[in-house]
Structure 1
Amino acid sequence: MMLRYLFFLFTPMLLIGCHYERAFVFPNTGIEISKVESSFHVDYSMIEKNGNLYIVFYNSLHQMTLATVDLKTGKCEYEILPSDIEWDSHNYVTMAFDKEGYLHVAGNMHAVPLVYFRSSEPYTIHGMKKISHMTGIDENKVTYPIFMESPDGELIFHYRSGGSGNGFEIYNIYNIKEQKWRRLLDKPLIDGVGKRNAYMQGPILGTDGYYHLIWVWRDTPDCSTNHTLSYARSKDLIQWESISGKKTDLPITFDKIDFYVDPTPVKGGLFNPGIKLGFDSNGYPIIGYHKYDEHGYNQLFMARYEKDGWYRKQLTNWEYRWQFEGSGSMKIELDIFTPKVIGEGKMFFGYKHVKEGSGEIIFQERTFEIIGKREISSVYPEKYDQVESSYPGMQSHVIVVGDYLLRWEALPANRDQKIQGPLPAPSRLMLYKWK
Structure 2
Amino acid sequence: MDKILKKQTNSKAVISNSLVVMLLLFTFYSNAQLKTEESEIGLGWSNNSVNTVIFRNSALTTFKNWQFTAYYNSEGKMVLAKRNLNSKEWQTVITPYGGNVKDAHNSISIAVDTDGFVHVSWDQHDTRLRYAKGKTPFSLELSEEQPMTGSDEAKVTYPEFHNLPNGKLMFCYRSGASGRGNLILKTYDVKTQKWSPLQNNFIDGENQRSAYWQMCVSKKGIYISWVWRESWDVSTNHDICYAFSADGGQTWEKSTGEKYSLPITKTSAEIAWKVPEKSSLINQTSMTVDMQGNPYIAGYWDDNGIPQYKVVYLDKGKWNKIDTDFHSKPFTLGGGGTKKNPISRPEILVSKSMLYLLFRDEERANKITLASANLEKKQWKLTDVINYSVGQWEPNFDKELWKEKSELHIFSQNVSQADGEGLVDTEPQAVRVIELKKIPINK
Q: State if a TM-score over 0.5 links the two structures.
A: yes
Alignment-mate amino acid for residue 128 of structure 1 = S
Describe the shift of the 1:216–1:121 C-alpha distance in structure 2 as closer, same or farther (beyond 3 A).
same
**Is 1:33 aligned to residue 41 of structure 2?**
yes
Contact 2:235–2:334 (Cα < 8 Å) also in 1: yes
**Is 1:287 aligned to residue 289 of structure 2?**
no
Q: Distance in 1 between matches of 2:210 and 2:292?
A: 32
Matches within 5 A, 1:401-412: 407-412=412-417
Gaps of 5+ in 1: 1-27
Contact 1:96–1:147 (Cα < 8 Å) also in 2: yes
Q: Helix, strand or coil: the match of 2:204?
A: coil
TM superposition shift of 1:240:
0.6
Alignment-mate amino acid for residue 225 of structure 1 = T
Contact 1:165–1:195 (Cα < 8 Å) also in 2: yes
Contact 1:350–1:376 (Cα < 8 Å) also in 2: no
Alignment-mate amino acid for residue 63 of structure 1 = K
- Using the TM superposition, name which of 31-40 and 215-224 deviates more: 31-40
Contact 2:213–2:224 (Cα < 8 Å) also in 1: yes
**Is 1:180 aligned to residue 191 of structure 2?**
no
Contact 2:37–2:436 (Cα < 8 Å) also in 1: no
Post-superposition Cα deviations, 1:74-103, rounded to whole Å, max 9, x if no partner, equal: 573524222233311111112222233322
- Using the TM superposition, name which of 236-245 and 276-285 deviates more: 276-285
TM superposition shift of 1:333:
2.1
Q: Distance in 2 between matches of 1:280 and 1:127?
A: 36
TM superposition shift of 1:283:
3.5
TM superposition shift of 1:109:
0.9
Q: Distance in 2 between matches of 1:261 and 1:193?
A: 21
For 2:287, the equivalent position in structure 1 comes to 277
TM superposition shift of 1:339:
4.9
Matches within 5 A, 1:53-72: 53-69=67-83
Alignment-mate amino acid for residue 94 of structure 1 = S
- Using the TM superposition, name which of 76-85 and 143-152 deviates more: 76-85
**Is 1:376 aligned to residue 383 of structure 2?**
yes
| Candidates 303, 328, 343, aligned match of 1:334 | 343
Q: Helix, strand or coil: the match of 1:247?
A: coil
- Using the TM superposition, name which of 405-414 and 218-227 deviates more: 405-414
Post-superposition Cα deviations, 1:297-323, rounded to whole Å, max 9, x if no partner, equal: 324444344678534464449764321
Q: Distance in 1 between matches of 2:149 and 2:98?
A: 21
Contact 1:56–1:67 (Cα < 8 Å) also in 2: yes
TM superposition shift of 1:221:
0.9
Contact 2:49–2:392 (Cα < 8 Å) also in 1: no
For 1:323, the equivalent position in structure 2 comes to 332
Q: Distance in 2 between matches of 1:272 and 1:161?
A: 17
TM superposition shift of 1:223:
0.4
**Is 1:250 aligned to residue 262 of structure 2?**
yes
Q: Distance in 2 between matches of 1:319 and 1:31?
A: 33
Alignment-mate amino acid for residue 200 of structure 1 = W
Describe the shift of the 1:102–1:35 C-alpha distance in structure 2 as closer, same or farther (beyond 3 A).
same
TM superposition shift of 1:426:
1.5
Describe the shift of the 1:353–1:95 C-alpha distance in structure 2 as closer, same or farther (beyond 3 A).
closer
More helix by share: 2
| Candidates 129, 136, 139, aligned match of 2:150 | 136
TM superposition shift of 1:141:
1.0
Describe the shift of the 1:341–1:174 C-alpha distance in structure 2 as closer, same or farther (beyond 3 A).
closer
| Candidates 110, 117, 123, aligned match of 2:125 | 110
**Is 1:87 aligned to residue 118 of structure 2?**
no
TM superposition shift of 1:107:
1.0
Q: Distance in 1 between matches of 2:255 and 2:124?
A: 32
Alignment-mate amino acid for residue 135 of structure 2 = S
Q: Helix, strand or coil: the match of 2:414?
A: strand
**Is 1:226 aligned to residue 228 of structure 2?**
no
Post-superposition Cα deviations, 1:376-399, rounded to whole Å, max 9, x if no partner, equal: 364xxx2xx5249xxxx5769775
For 1:193, the equivalent position in structure 2 comes to 206
Paired residues, number: 384
TM superposition shift of 1:73:
11
Q: Distance in 2 between matches of 1:127 and 1:361?
A: 39
Describe the shift of the 1:33–1:256 C-alpha distance in structure 2 as closer, same or farther (beyond 3 A).
same
Which protein, 1 or 2, shows the higher relative CO under an 8 Å CA cutoff with sep ≥ 6?
A: 2
Contact 2:371–2:383 (Cα < 8 Å) also in 1: yes
Q: Distance in 1 between matches of 2:370 and 2:46?
A: 27
Q: Distance in 2 between matches of 1:79 and 1:244?
A: 48
Q: Helix, strand or coil: the match of 1:425?
A: coil
| Candidates 150, 158, 161, aligned match of 2:172 | 158
Q: Distance in 2 between matches of 1:336 and 1:221?
A: 19
Alignment-mate amino acid for residue 143 of structure 2 = M
Contact 1:231–1:242 (Cα < 8 Å) also in 2: yes
Q: Distance in 2 between matches of 1:172 and 1:217?
A: 22
Alignment-mate amino acid for residue 37 of structure 1 = W
Q: TM-score, normalised by structure 1?
A: 0.76
**Is 1:169 aligned to residue 183 of structure 2?**
yes
For 1:3, the equivalent position in structure 2 comes to none
Q: Distance in 2 between matches of 1:311 and 1:29?
A: 36
For 2:426, the equivalent position in structure 1 comes to 424
Describe the shift of the 1:200–1:413 C-alpha distance in structure 2 as closer, same or farther (beyond 3 A).
farther
Gaps of 5+ in 2: 1-35, 53-58, 402-406, 438-443
Contact 2:347–2:357 (Cα < 8 Å) also in 1: yes
Q: Distance in 2 between matches of 1:339 and 1:398?
A: 10
Q: Helix, strand or coil: the match of 1:167?
A: strand
TM superposition shift of 1:128:
2.3
TM superposition shift of 1:281:
5.7
Alignment-mate amino acid for residue 335 of structure 1 = S
Contact 2:39–2:89 (Cα < 8 Å) also in 1: no
